[in-house]
Structures are given as C-alpha cells and as structure tokens.
Amino acid sequence: MLYDVLLWDLDGTLTDPKVGITRSVQYALKKLDFPIPEADDLEWIIGPPLKESFKILLKTMDESLLNQAIELYRERFSEIGLYENNVYPGIPDLLVRLKDKGCMHLLATSKPKVFAEIILKHFSLDSCFSVIMGSELNGQFVEKDVLIAEVLKKVPVGSMSKVVMIGDRRFDVFGARANHIDIISVGYGYGTVKELQDAAPDFIVPNVSDLERLLFSGAESLTV
C-alpha cells in the first residue's frame, strides 16, 4: 500500500454536492434580494469556506450581512440541501477495500462537522471512518491548514510518514503542504485542471479508478 492513513475531503471528492450547495446559495441570495446566478455559474463556491464565497457574491465585507447569508444558506441546507447529494461511483467500494487492507480513514472537510456526519451516515459511509472532522458552526477549523493540523493529532506517531490528503481543490493542496504531508488531487471534482496543476500536488488522478490504482499499486501504476 502506498499510504496507511488517508485524510479525505468530502465535497467533490467523496460526494457530488452541487445541487444542494448551489440551490441553498440561490435560496440565501433570493431571501436577501440579490441577483441569483445559474447553478453552473456557482460551481466555484464548492470547496472554499462559505463566508469567503459570500464576500464575493455579495461584494461586501459586512460581517452582519455575511452572517445573515450563511444563516439563510444553512436554513435550507440543513433540511434539504445536504440530501441533494450523490456519492461518486466506486467510492464506497474503494473505502471498504482500503479499510480491509488496514488503512485508516479520516475525514477532513471544511464543511461543518454536524452536516458532514449526517451526510456520511445517510450514505452509509460513516462506518469506514475512524475520525470525522469538520469545521464548527462558529467558523473554527474552516481553514484547511488548521483543520488538517487538528486531524493529524489523531494519527499514530509511527504512521505519520505514510499519511496523505485526498481532495479536489487547491485549498486541499495548500493545507496538506502546510502540514508537510503528501496530497493527491482528484480531477473528477470541482477544481479545474489549471487550478490543480498550478497548485502542484504530488499526484493528480482523473477518476476513481485511477485513484484506486495509485493507492493500491503506487505511482508506477499511473500512465502518463
């Protein structure tokens, strides 16, 4: 096995959350009487901290307005949006096979932990994870480098040399680099090819099959 401990991003890596996230953002914008972009024009918000995305959408730094937007987003997301989601094909089997080989799975998502726990349980993925770590509703642990540092506290000292972060955005790469661990970027999520290439992860895999091949067989299994 190439790695013994795998830190997984959630959105764009394990599940495709586009419908739930974009509709919940549109709901918040409508409630605030702001222009409502089409869902395809909102894909860029999947991954970064929500407040940072609303700063761009609302063109404001007003904390009161930003917090109001987040509350409205969560109003819909907590009841409806988190279920408007699909697990990427092949992910459940991959998680089980890796666990059966002795790998330790830890979730490291900027999504609030309370939502991440519900989503993993809804899709029967929770039993694969030793640790489920996300941000707090008050914004703590929303930055990926801080989040990963907290997750790594759960990793046995003897396994630190065989730890990898797996995610779909540049934020995952930067967070992993800040904590001196390897990073695999997946190309089937919401990071563009240019974004991932510029971020320069250790590996970029275009699909779940190639991710599986890399994790089980190593870099020599990837075709260039």
Number of domains in the chain: 2
Q: What is the pLDDT of residues 141-164, one digit of tens each?
A: 999 999 999 999 999 888 999 999
Please give the single-letter amino acid code of residue 33: D
pLDDT in tens, 18-50: 999 999 999 999 999 999 999 999 999 998 889
Chain mean pLDDT for the chain: 95
Q: 165-201, pLDDT tens digit by residue?
A: 999 999 999 999 999 999 999 999 999 999 999 999 9
The whole domain housing 194 covers 5-16+87-221
pLDDT of the residue at 222: 64
Is the same domain home to 56 and 95?
A: no
pLDDT at 51: 94
Same domain for 202 and 102 = yes
Residue 48: give its domain's CATH number.
1.10.150.240
Q: Are residues 108 and 190 in the same domain?
A: yes
pLDDT digits (tens, 9 = 90+) for 65-114: 999 999 999 999 999 999 999 999 999 999 999 999 999 999 999 999 99
Residues 110 and 213 in one domain: yes
The reported pLDDT for the residue numbered 221 is 62
> CA-to-CA distance for 95 and 199, rounded, in angstroms?
26
Residues 63 and 99 in one domain: no
**Higher confidence at residue 122 or residue 220?**
122
pLDDT (0 to 100) of residue 127: 97
Phi and psi, residue 55, nearest 5°: -60, -40
Q: Are residues 120 and 12 in the same domain?
A: yes
| 74 plus 169 within the same structural domain | no
- Tell me, rounded to whole angstroms, the distance of Cα 149 from its chain centroid: 15
Q: Tell me the pLDDT band of 224, cut-offs 50, 70 and 90.
A: very low
Q: Is the pLDDT of residue 220 over 70?
A: no
Handedness of CA 117, 119, 125, 129 (dihedral sign): negative
**In the annotation, is 9 catalytic?**
yes
> Which of 27, 49, 83 represents a domain boundary (last residue)?
83
Same-domain check for residues 139 and 201? yes
DSSP character at residue 36:
-
pLDDT at 218: 79
Question: Exactly one of 9, 16, 168, 172 is catalytic; which is it?
Answer: 9
Whichever domain contains 136, its CATH number is: 3.40.50.1000
Residues 213, 105 share a domain: yes
Give the tokens for residue 119: 């989503």
Q: Which of 117, 106, 27, 39 is nearest to 72 (CA)?
A: 27
> Of 83, 102, 120, which residue is a domain's last?
83
- Shared domain for 11 and 49, answered yes or no, is no
Last residue of a domain, one of 64, 83, 102: 83
Same-domain pairing of 54 and 137: no
40 in the same domain as 139: no
Residue 161, classified by CB atoms within 10 Å of its CB into exposed (0-12), middle (13-18) or buried (19+), is exposed
